[in-house]
Amino acid sequence: MKLCIIYNTAPKYRERIFSLIDEYYDCDWYFGYTKTDIKEMDTSVLKRVIYYKTIGNSRASWQRGIVRLLFKKEYNTFLMLAESRNLTIYLFLFLLRFFPNKRVYLWTHGLYGKESSFEAKLKMWIYSHASGVFLYGNYSKQLLMEKGFPESRLFVIHNSLFYERQKAIRDSIHPSDIYFRHFGNNNPVLIFIGRLTKVKRLDMLINAVALLKQWGCTYNIVFVGDGEMRQDLEYLVTKKDLANNVWFYGACYEEQTNAELIYNADLCVAPGNVGLTAMHTMVFGCPVITHNDFKWQMPEFEAIIKGVTGDFFKYGDTESLAETINDWFVLKRNKREEVRQNCFKEIDTNWNPKFQMEILKKYLK
């Protein structure tokens, strides 16, 4: 079987799973020329790569030269990224009816639950014309099933980062006094790692820690990352008299250092959508708290098991965030190693390239 894979870009964090797919399947890769802030992988590690041009914008786009791939005799199976604003996918799937021996599988977020009725209908039309749909999470699968989509054509593939590399670092890491040396105290350490952007609602974390301080509970925060909100966050820290308890570490691209920062923290807090941050912290044993309105979440929130690998607070509610942070430390006092092992297990079982390859091998026909 020759597999044709069509993706809008080649993100760096997908390098391992793409490499495994390339090793297992006889496949050609088609990537779009894109200009985003997403770091791209070195596609020379893949056997055969072709680039195409995309016309349009975020509201509507067209992939040049992609539809004609359906007419190539050597391709019987396609694996494509599915986006409802990509006009190419509609024509591609419409023409598929004239090629009964060809199959198209989609790799997509699926439904979030926040779509307008019109957008939901567009997505359902796309998915219903595919041979199967690989989804990042069970939440989306459940939403699709509630709309009558057959479970037999929905496959949860989850997501992954640089798992093997991270696990190798994890296996050699040990507790350190990095936070005591910086803060000069033994307060519990809350960490956020990622870009400091508005959508992450990091102001809520600062306000929650300020509220906890009023309640007589002191915490430290470390922000590992940089971004558009850093100056505003620094101002808020000063305003809330938390300068001695907040460390703006800055962006760090050295994974050994990131691992030490995460491993020695007590809890990751992501007040906005959590995304890949959950996987990055949990692979090094750090539990995660994020909000509970899942239609505004990214699929990685499913790695958070309440009371086991993290917890959820009421969406947009700073007091609820403060209470959830405090309750976590009451519940898990003296259980840091148990929590660490729970986080390891969740990533090692469900959120890694090996798991993803098992799903692809089982369902990609």
What digits encode the pLDDT tens for the residues 250-271?
999 999 999 999 999 999 999 9
Give the closest residue to 261 by CA, choosing from 352, 175, 351: 175
| pLDDT tens readout for residues 195-216 | 999 999 999 999 999 999 999 9
| pLDDT tens readout for residues 270-286 | 999 999 999 999 999 99
- The backbone torsions φ and ψ at residue 253, rounded to the nearest 5 degrees and listed phi first, read -110, 10
- Give me 33's structure tokens: 């020329």
* Stretch 28-54: mean pLDDT: 89
Give the closest residue to 30 by CA, choosing from 79, 89, 83, 98: 79
**Angle formed by the axes of helices 163-172 and 353-363, nearest 10°:** 150
Helix (H, G, I), strand (E, B) or coil at 132: strand
Give the closest residue to 10 by CA, choosing from 34, 47, 41: 41
pLDDT at 365: 84
* Stretch 23-42: mean pLDDT: 87
The sign of the torsion formed by the CA atoms of 268, 327, 219, 333 equals: negative
Q: How many CB atoms lie within 10 A of CB 186?
A: 10
Q: What is the DSSP string of 54-83?
A: EEE-SS-EEETT-GGGGG-TT--EEEEE--
Q: Which residues contact 308 (CB under 8 A, 6 or more apart)?
A: 339, 342, 346
C-alpha dist (Å) from residue 289 to 56, 133, 262, 321, 326: 38, 29, 14, 8, 11
pLDDT at 33: 85
| pLDDT tens readout for residues 293-327 | 999 999 999 999 999 999 999 999 999 999 999 99
In the block, residue with structure tokens 């971004």: 227
Q: Is the separation of the CB atoms in 224 and 252 below 8 Å? A: yes
d(CA 183, CA 265): 13
At 25, the pLDDT band (50, 70, 90 cuts) reads very high
| pLDDT tens readout for residues 108-157 | 999 999 999 999 999 999 999 999 999 999 999 999 999 999 999 999 99
pLDDT at 159 exceeding the cut of 90: yes
Higher pLDDT, 247 or 83: 247
At 56, the pLDDT band (50, 70, 90 cuts) reads confident
pLDDT at 38 exceeding the cut of 90: no
Q: Which residues contact 174 (CB under 8 A, 6 or more apart)?
A: none
- The backbone torsions φ and ψ at residue 68, rounded to the nearest 5 degrees and listed phi first, read -65, -15
pTM of the model: 0.93
